[in-house]
Amino acid sequence: MSTWVRWSSSWSWWRVARFYAAERVVERALEDLRGSGVADLGRRTVPAMASRIENGGSENDRWTAALSNLVEIGNSIGVLEDLLLGKAVYVDEDAFAQASAQSQQFRAVKAQERRIRDLEKELDAAVTASRLARVEKREAENLHRQAEARSQEVLRELEDTSQVFKLHMEELRLKQAEVEKKDADIKVLQAIIDTMRTEPRGSRQKKPS
């Protein structure tokens, strides 16, 4: 059982192909009509009726001309219908179902291709983000190593400063001990001097007696 090709609102490659095929059929039908002279029907009948009216034809003549024009127009429409039906494209149910399945598969493939492109974009974005994260990680590691190197350098400077401070403290302690020793010597000498100063006075007091 054949059915006329059905059109739907969704445009697919199969529907577009059928549209162009139908357009070519109509063009060929019009060319055949021009070749057979049917297309010139209006140019032949209408002026003929007008000439009859201008020649003073009766009312019956005008009605007869109008009816003949209608009959010729109907015949022309019938010829056009026969040409269109003879060159129309018929598709059986199996072929139409197969075409519909192919159209659905085509749409599914297109949807999958769009999904693949979206996933590829997401993958590229993830790879770019991972690359940036690795770069930032390397920079952070470099900064951490620099900070550790600086802290080690500061610790060495502190140790050196501590050693220098210890040396200075030892030197100061030695000088302090030396100063204390000299103070003790000075006190001994001062006591001797004081003793020597007091002895002559005593001897002088004893001599007059």
pLDDT tens sequence across 92-135: 677 767 877 888 898 899 999 999 999 999 999 999 999 999 99
Q: What is the pTM of this model?
A: 0.34
CA distance 119 to 105: 20
pLDDT digits (tens, 9 = 90+) for 164-203: 989 989 999 999 999 998 888 898 888 888 888 886 555 5
pLDDT digits (tens, 9 = 90+) for 11-61: 344 444 555 555 555 555 555 545 544 444 444 444 444 454 445 456 677
Rounded (to 5) percent helix, strand, coil in the chain = 90, 5, 10
